[in-house]
Structures are given as structure tokens and as C-alpha cells.
Amino acid sequence: MPPPEFGAAFRESLRALFLWRRDVRRFRPDPVPEARIAALLELAGTAPSVGLSQPWRFVRVESPERRAAIRALFARSNAEALAGQAPERAALYARLKLEGLDRAPCQLALFCLPDPEQGHGLGRRTMPETLAYSAVMALHTLWLAARAEGLGLGWVSILEPEAVTAALDVPAAWRFIGYACLGWPEAESDRPELEAEGWERRRAVVCLRR
């Protein structure tokens, strides 16, 4: 089949998708239809991966007990992070809502296989970290696809990887990449929340010439 033509209108819509993709921290509790979740995960599987290894493994975290365990791990790590903040930023940090674990209807843990047979090692002998990069690409693909559906995704990174691996009872060799909260956002914005809260601001892309 001939390749599709991505015209000016599509490119403008794509740019809007990039600009309106947010790291969502506040969700409505409404459930996400199973068919939508399945379709999003299928799209995530189309992400580029080193050697076509597709090293990502998603885990749906559904049981109340495991969700409570993840929430407790976050609370512990977040308290440690707060204690490590500079005095002039501690109050601001404490005001930030850094996770959606309490209300997000869908929660996904993303892991990466350490040495998948698929791909036959192509492209990763000198840079084995490209496996983890590939898993991140899958998450980013899911993130954009979710935004196009009107859904929001939040990446919870304030978690200790080994503890998450144990709490979810997955193989110890799997590398934890990130924990994603997925659902319908309470509000929409084209501005990062951390920028609106005064934590940080966007800067221009750095591109050197050599």
C-alpha cells in the first residue's frame, strides 16, 4: 500500500498533541474502558526498539493490596525526597501533587527485559542501555496515544525500583522503568503544572554544532 500523506492540517494537529501532552497528576475516578486500554497498549507495541527487541513488559496493577503497597512505597520515598530539599524549596515541594495513585483508574508498571532473545542482540553490544531507552519509547508512544483519546497519563518516578519489583512479584531480573497512572484528567492545560506552580520553566532546546 502507498504511504499516507501527512498534510499541513495533520502536522498542525500533531503539534497541538505534543503541546497539550501533560504529566497528569489529578484524575477523575471514572473507569477507562478495557477496549481503550487494550488499543493503547497495542499502539505502545509499535514503538521503535533496538534490534526490534521489544524489551518492554507492562504490568496492570489492579489488586487493592498491590496498589496499597505501591502507595506506601511512594509515601516513603516522597518523605525522603522532601527531607532532602533545600529549605527555600521544601515548602513548594510539599505543595506539589506528585502522583495520581489515589484516583487514577488504570495503573501500569513498565519493566524492561535485561537481555531479550528477541532482536538477537543487534545494536546493543556497545550500548546495552538502549533496551531501557526502547522501553521509554513505548511509554512515550502510549502517552501520546492516550492524550489523543482525551486521556491523561502521569509518570510516577518517586519509587525505589527493587521495592516495586518485589511488591509486584515480577522476575527480579526485570528492570523497573516507571509507573504510569492513566485516566481522565480533572483539568486540561497546555502548560506544564510544575511551571505553573513555579517549580521550573521550560527552556529552549540546546543543539550544538561541531
pLDDT digits (tens, 9 = 90+) for 192-209: 999 998 999 999 999 999
Q: Specify the pairing of strand 106-112 against strand 56-60.
A: antiparallel
Paired strand residues for 176: 111
Whether residue 98 contacts residue 79, with contact meaning beta carbons closer than 8 Å, is answered with no
Q: What is the rounded distance in angstroms from the CA atom of residue 161 to the CA atom of residue 56? A: 15
pTM greater than 0.75 (yes/no): yes
pLDDT band at 43 (very low <50, low <70, confident <90, very high): very high
Q: Which residues contact 23 (CB under 8 A, 6 or more apart)?
A: 153, 154, 155, 192, 193, 194
- Grid coordinates representing 130 are 538502549
Task: Please name the amino acid found at residue 37.
Answer: I
Paired strand residues for 185: 27
Between 146 and 94, the more confident residue is 146
Q: What is the pLDDT of residue 163?
A: 98
Residues in the chain: 210
Over the range 3-36, which residues count as b (16 or more CB within 10 Å of their CB) and which as e?
eeeeeeeeeeeeeeeeeebbbbbbbeeeebeeeb
Q: What is the rounded distance in angstroms from the CA atom of residue 168 to the CA atom of residue 70? A: 9
Summarised one tens digit per residue, pLDDT across range 70-80 is 999 999 999 99
Q: What is the average pLDDT score of the chain? A: 96
pLDDT band at 97 (very low <50, low <70, confident <90, very high): confident
Average pLDDT of 131-141?
98
- CB-based burial label for 125 (10 Å; 0-12, 13-18, 19+): exposed
Q: Locate cell 526485570: which residue?
A: 174
Question: Is the predicted pLDDT of residue 173 greater than 90, yes or no?
Answer: yes
